[in-house]
Structure 1
Amino acid sequence: MTTNIVFIQAGISAAGIAIQLYIAWRSRKQSAQQSEDTLDMQRLVSHRATAAFVADKRQKWIDELRTDMAFHLALSQEIAWKWDALRSRTALRISKEAHDDPARSHRILQEAADAFSAENGARDREHQERHFRVTFRLNPREPLHITLRTCLGDVRTVLSKLQGSRTDADAKALMERMVILIDQSTTLTEQVLKAEWDRVKQEVAYPEALMAKIPKPG
């Protein structure tokens, strides 16, 4: 009888210890889960804050590229039109005043070039500066950006050739080429801006995907 009581008491004690161990294990598990949930929430908040920061910078980039490209393409057209107008005016003056005199024709050309050089020099410097500013904004590894950079380089080349055109046929061909390049640049710019805006929306909606793309130190 005494032995049975001892066994019962031992069983009760073991059960009590088991219950205590279970309670302690359960408490640690709940605590660990709460800690993990807290860390997950902190990571989510951090990722969203980072995505919002990146989206804000990208939106600024979009706005600035749009402004720069609008100005740059308008200035490209202006320079081309002014060179074409200068060539037409000079050719008309030569036909009226030179009377097939080569020396007189040269003087008329030189006078027109000297009068035009000051104002056009300022425009060309601004155009070149804006050209570099835009190309530096574009990613040399993205296909759309590469195509736009090439197109803008062609614009600079056509403007340079337009300055040296001597015949109506050359000038007309260059002006037609400039119109095509302006249209292509406009279309490419719209595509670049749309792609970047879509990227902004994706980054805000899925911050974890953005964080996965950011290289980690080391």
Structure 2
Amino acid sequence: MTVRAALFDVFGTVVDWRTGIAGHVDEWMDTRGVTGVDSFAFADEWRSRYDPSMREVREGRRPFARLDVLHRENLVEVLLSHRITASDDDVDALNSSWHALPAWPDSVAGITRMKSAMIVAPLSNGNVSLLLDMAKAAGIPWDAVLGAEVAHAYKPTPDAYLRTADILGLAPEECLMVAAHNSDLKAAQQCGFGTAFVRRPTEHGPSQTVDLEAGGQWDHVADSMEDLATALGC
């Protein structure tokens, strides 16, 4: 079937979360006189709590909670691990860093080209306000803002993919999942989606060891969003 929608993982695929969060951490620490914190290590520690917190929701041990809530809970734990005391307002300010992450240099141009031929939208674990703010800040031209909060399910559970396709009125086979993570593409493929792997070999920094290459029989493998747009005829 013809691809009618390209649906994108966001964190790591469309935006450079690690560089963005580290930059916000540096600024936040500096304005509060906190020293001796490696901002990239802080960002990595914060991100490492991402999947375990969603697993609590996916496995039914807590009701659905939007990612902003999970991020804030995880941030409080990271601050405690560094023995940093912060007011609620200061925690909120740092938590909002996820709303203003930089796009990879090829993301906006590539997604804009794909938008000319198909629907483009996030299929992200991010909540709506987070993804809206991020798109405004980075200039990402989404047609719609979808994801876990809309589908009420976190990836890689099937409902996250299937409910998103249903919301768009599309069959799974009409949707292309675009991601830099093989696990995301595997889950989408099992739901009937087309798949496109975009390499992001520095998502986790210069010593990254995961998702350096395509790890499955994906429909497309590209080095950038612009390369993917070309492969899709856009």
TM-score by length of 1: 0.27
Q: Which has the higher helix share?
A: 1
Bigger Rg, which one: 1
Q: Which has the higher contact order (CA 8 A, sep 6+)?
A: 1
